Structure formats: structure tokens, C-alpha cells
Amino acid sequence: MTAQLTEPAARAWQADPYADALRVGRGPLYLRRHDGWLLPLDVERWCAEPDAADDTVLARCTGPVLDIGCGPGRMVAALARLGRPALGVDVTPEAVARTVRTGGSALCRSVFDPLPAEGGWGTVLLIDGNIGIGGDPAALLRRAAELTASGGSLLVEAAAADVDERVEVHVEDGNGGRGASFRWARLGSRALCSVARDAGWTPYGTWQAAGRHFVHLTR
């Protein structure tokens, strides 16, 4: 059921506006809700070196690391430079290609597909809003639990606002290019911790860095 849930989203993230933005390393790029609300996507930051907020995530990584929705791979590549075993997973071929070009390892695959070392990852990452993948955070958190080793960690970036929403969105570039609609979710730290408990995770701590909000969950 979860694979069917995420299939339209996987196709949408392969749409030209997103792939084109990754190819050139810049936006503008947005998620647009059907009521007209826009969420700017920070393509330039994703394609740059890890920033100070990213460093706080990298410092909390233990054991082999799986980055779900790795995008252009800045986190995976940074871990590789540190000599840490890490793998990125993304449904967009251009994201995987860019990750490999920058020195990381990545697979073009959905998180709900079979993955290497299931149940053996010391740390799993859901950064840059990727708790929204599939529009069903509970299903995504249960899948992350299947991937994470006993005693391992899930590091999640939450929305800065105190929000808990499941929405239909599409990717657009502000110049007329747009992708297909798909389900997405946004959760603030409080909502994320509540959903995580129901999915079998224990909240270990929260922190903020450079205006971004993060939650550390443990198995």
C-alpha cells in the first residue's frame, strides 16, 4: 500500500522543473498548494556545501547513515569525505547523478522499495522537509523504523511553524513550468514527536540551528 501511496509523488519529483533546478544548482522552485500557497524550495542551499545547521546534524550521525530523499547529496558527500559509510536514496535520477559527482553514493529508488542493509542503519536522515514524503508521515516513520538498527537514530528536520498538515501540491518554477500533483505533509516539532511515538519511536531531543528545527528520535 505504501508503495502505491508514493508512486505519484515519485513521478512528480522526476518532473522537469525539479530536475532542471538540480541540474543548474539554483531556483526559483516552489511547492504550490491548490489554494495558491507557495513554499519556496532552497535549491541553492541543497546544492551547496553543508552549512552550520547541517553540521549539527552530521555531528549527531553514528554508524552507517542512510539519507532518505538525499537530493543533490551534500550530506552524503560530506559524510564520505569524513570516511563515514553513507548512502543516499532519491527518486530523481538527476539528484542521484549529482550526489555521485560530488563524491557520495546514492541509489535511484523510493524509500518504500527494497534497500540495502535494511534494519542495519545506525542513523537515518529525513532532512529538508523530507518528513513530507508520500503525504503520510506515520507510514514513512514506520518504514524508517524498519530500516534503522535497534538503538539507532532518526534525525528529522521539522517545519519551523507549529503545523500538522497533509496537502496536495505540485512543483513549479515560477516561469510556467510545473509538475504533476502529489501528496505532501508538513509537521512542526510537536506534531512530529506525537506521530513518531505512535510509529514506535522515542523522542530523544530537539534543537534549532540557523532558523531550522530538528528532532532526534531513537528506536
The answer to whether residue 214 scores a pLDDT higher than 70 is yes
Sheet holding 65-68, edge to edge: 106-108, 86-90, 65-68, 121-126, 148-158, 212-218, 202-209
Name the pTM for this structure: 0.92
Mean pLDDT to the nearest integer, 48-65: 98
pLDDT confidence tier of residue 6, bands split at 50, 70 and 90: very low
The answer to whether residue 15 scores a pLDDT higher than 60 is no
Mean pLDDT to the nearest integer, 21-48: 94
Give per-residue pLDDT as tens, 69-88.
999 999 999 999 999 999 99
Would you state the pLDDT for residue 2? 38
Would you state the pLDDT for residue 175? 87
The answer to whether residue 36 scores a pLDDT higher than 50 is yes
Q: Where are the alpha helices (DSSP H) in the chain?
A: 2-13, 16-24, 43-46, 52-58, 74-81, 93-101, 137-147, 189-198
C-alpha cell at 97: 547523478
Would you state the pLDDT for residue 3? 40
The CA–CA distances, whole Å, from 112 to 19, 136, 178, 203 equal: 21, 12, 25, 23
Per DSSP, 211 falls in state T
Q: How many domains does the chain have?
A: 1
H helix and E strand count, the chain: 8, 11
Alpha-carbon distance of 209 to 157, in angstroms, equals 11
pLDDT over 70, % of the chain: 93
The answer to whether residue 199 scores a pLDDT higher than 60 is yes
C-alpha cell at 6: 508514493
Alpha-carbon distance of 41 to 43, in angstroms, equals 6
Task: Identify the CATH number of the domain in which residue 52 sits.
Answer: 3.40.50.150
pLDDT confidence tier of residue 1, bands split at 50, 70 and 90: very low
Task: Determine contact, residues 188/213, Cβ cutoff 8 Å.
Answer: yes
Task: Determine contact, residues 196/141, Cβ cutoff 8 Å.
Answer: yes
Would you state the pLDDT for residue 7? 52
Mean pLDDT to the nearest integer, 94-101: 97
Would you state the pLDDT for residue 9? 53
Give per-residue pLDDT as tens, 102-155.
999 999 999 999 999 999 999 999 999 999 999 999 999 999 999 999 999 999
Mean pLDDT of the chain: 93
Mean pLDDT to the nearest integer, 89-95: 95
Its domain, for residue 157, covers: 2-218
